[in-house]
Amino acid sequence: MSSLTDLYQEVILDHNKRPQNFRVLTGEAVHSAAGDNPLCGDKVTVYLRREGDRLAEVTFQGTGCAISQASASLMTEAVQGKTEEEVQRLLTAFIHAMKGEEAPDLGKLEALAGVRDYPMRVKCATLAWHTLHAALEEEDAPVSTEE
Q: Which residues bind Zn ion (CB under 5 A)?
A: 40, 42, 65, 68, 124
Q: Least separation, in Å, of the C-beta of 63 and Zn ion?
A: 10
Quick one: 36 or 42, whose CB is closer to Zn ion? Answer: 42
β-bridge pairing 42-51 and 30-37: antiparallel
Q: Output the CA–CA distances (angstroms, integers) from residue 64 to 30, 45, 89, 126, 135, in the order listed.
A: 24, 12, 26, 13, 20
Quick one: 5 or 26, whose CB is closer to Zn ion? Answer: 5
Q: Least separation, in Å, of the C-beta of 64 and Zn ion?
A: 5
Q: Least separation, in Å, of the C-beta of 56 and Zn ion?
A: 29
Quick one: 57 or 145, whose CB is closer to Zn ion? Answer: 145
For residue 117, count CB atoms less than 10 angstroms from its CB and return exposed for 0-12, middle for 13-18, buried for 19 or more. middle
- Closest to 20 in 3D by CA, of 72, 87, 64, 56: 72
Quick one: 41 or 100, whose CB is closer to Zn ion? Answer: 41
Q: Least separation, in Å, of the C-beta of 126 and Zn ion?
A: 10
